[in-house]
Structure 1
Amino acid sequence: MIIKRVFDLLFSIIVLLLLSPVILIIAILVKLNLGSPILFTQERIGKDNKKFKMYKFRTMKDAVGKDGKQLPDSERLTKFGKILRSTSLDELPELINIVKGEMSLIGPRPLLVEYLPLYNEEQIKRHNVLPGLTGWAQINGRNAISWTEKFKLDIWYVDNWSLGLDIKIFFLTVYKVFKREGISAEGQATVAYFDGTN
């Protein structure tokens, strides 16, 4: 795992430096299209069930209805936001989480804090490793597969981890990003909410 951490750190720092002009341009575009804040921060669950703040570029407006409640994702997600999501450019700030040691380049995706009590004994094993920028479930369907399938893929990754597997996932992720597959769940603007049964 030391090799994995060293690779995570070197890769993230190099990419942040190389893509700093791109990151700056995206930040400016987010500011112009969506206003402040530029980054979307949200508490997620990491390794050993510890909470951390995950960073992403904003892709949605802070729009509310007449009742004062936040509008559904489908109504808040902008055309600009869809482009960021489909190209996965909104995920670039997560490299900061990797540098901080809260995430890894490869691993199960970090999920919402409110999901934690809903996991069964098998599903919660996904938190035995650092969450990832991409993972086994992401290259096997991403948001287009059911939660049950995602969790099975996550646990398979935890049980079968190897450096070779991480390398395979990395290159397949690059391929999937260019194909723009599995960006959202069927009938959803983003991803369906996990209620402990699906």
Structure 2
Amino acid sequence: MSTTLFVPRAGGIVTIHLHRNDLPDGIEFAPVVAVDTEAMGLNPNRDRLCLVQLSSGDGTAHLVQIIPAAHGGTDCPNLKRLLADPGTVKLFHFARFDVGLLQASLGITVAPIRCTKIAAKLTRTYTERQGLRELCRDLLGVEISKQQQTSDWGAADLTPEQLAYAASDVLHLHALWARLEGLLIREGRLDLAQSCFDFMPARARLDRLGYDLPDIFAH
């Protein structure tokens, strides 16, 4: 079952498609798809995946509400196929959390990936402001709200405010990556960033095994 919302924003209308259980058959995305998640909390070993947001960077967001099996949820085969597809680049902000949550929840390896937070940390060394809201403001001149960040994402019916917030987390990632990729090239760190991106699925598995603290790379 899918629902479509049209949300006004500066510069036009955002189209949000909400899908319950899985992506519909036949849907196509660009070779680079922006991805974000919402969960019941920040511990992937405890807190369940509730929502997966996707966008091709065209002003349209597809939101997949993950329904627990006890309430009629499915195995999300279309969503899993997209996230594991080696021919589709998945673009995240703070991929370490999202990739870990998706891999733990869906039993897949999420790759290949790019991460705007890693790119920002490798290039914007003059500031500690590397959050998505700060990057959108500093690099794109776009203000996004984080008001719904800590709301109940496990609710059966998500509010229009929640859906608009969730969509905003993927709608700007393509433009943000374009700016950050330019900075990586300028600073000669694009290859280093790519090495970090390639390692991310393994880093997420190490986190899942409890090697986040102490870090396995620490002395």
When normalised by structure 2's length, the TM-score is 0.26
When normalised by structure 1's length, the TM-score is 0.28
Structure holding more strand per residue: 2
